[in-house]
Amino acid sequence: MEEKMKHLEMIQNVITRMASNSFLLKGWTVTLVVGLLAFANIKEMNSDFMFLALVPAAFFWVLDGYFINEERKYVKLYEHVATLNNDQIDFSLNARQYEEKTGGLVSAFWSNTLKLFYLPTLIVVIAAIFAYQ
């Protein structure tokens, strides 16, 4: 039982890191987008800087989708290990086999949590670009 708990702790640590990375990406997205929009405002509404705000928003959306996908795979691994007997524990952290069960990267990219954060961010940037042209 102790081996199983240790293996589950290892997997939980990976899941926690993925969730932390996702959270940090959202914070950086807001920081960079707001900073670039503010800089564009200082430069007398230069829409070129506003276009630059689209880059981190789009890039971080893709990267965040990657972390969500990895987190989902490790959750599946956690669920699998939780059902194993002690003699079956191998301490593997390989979660690639669960890619099909999670829907893949595209599914994670279009998850509700990411859409509800990144789509409004992109809409605000695009609205700012059109408002000041």
83-100 pLDDT per residue, tens:
988 888 888 899 999 988
CA dist 99 and 73 (Å) reads: 6
Would you say the pTM of this structure is higher than 0.95? no
Residue 13 has pLDDT above 80, yes or no: yes
Q: Are 29 and 59 in contact (CB under 8 A)?
A: no
16-58 pLDDT per residue, tens:
999 999 999 999 999 999 998 888 776 666 667 788 889 999 9
Chain-centroid distance, C-alpha 121: 15
CA dist 44 and 27 (Å) reads: 26
Helix (H, G, I), strand (E, B) or coil at 85: coil
**Confidence band, pLDDT 50/70/90 cuts, at residue 66:** very high
Q: Which two tokens stand for residue 86?
A: 């002690």
Closest CA to 61 of 126, 122, 124: 122
Confidence at residue 46, expressed as pLDDT on a 0 to 100 scale: 65
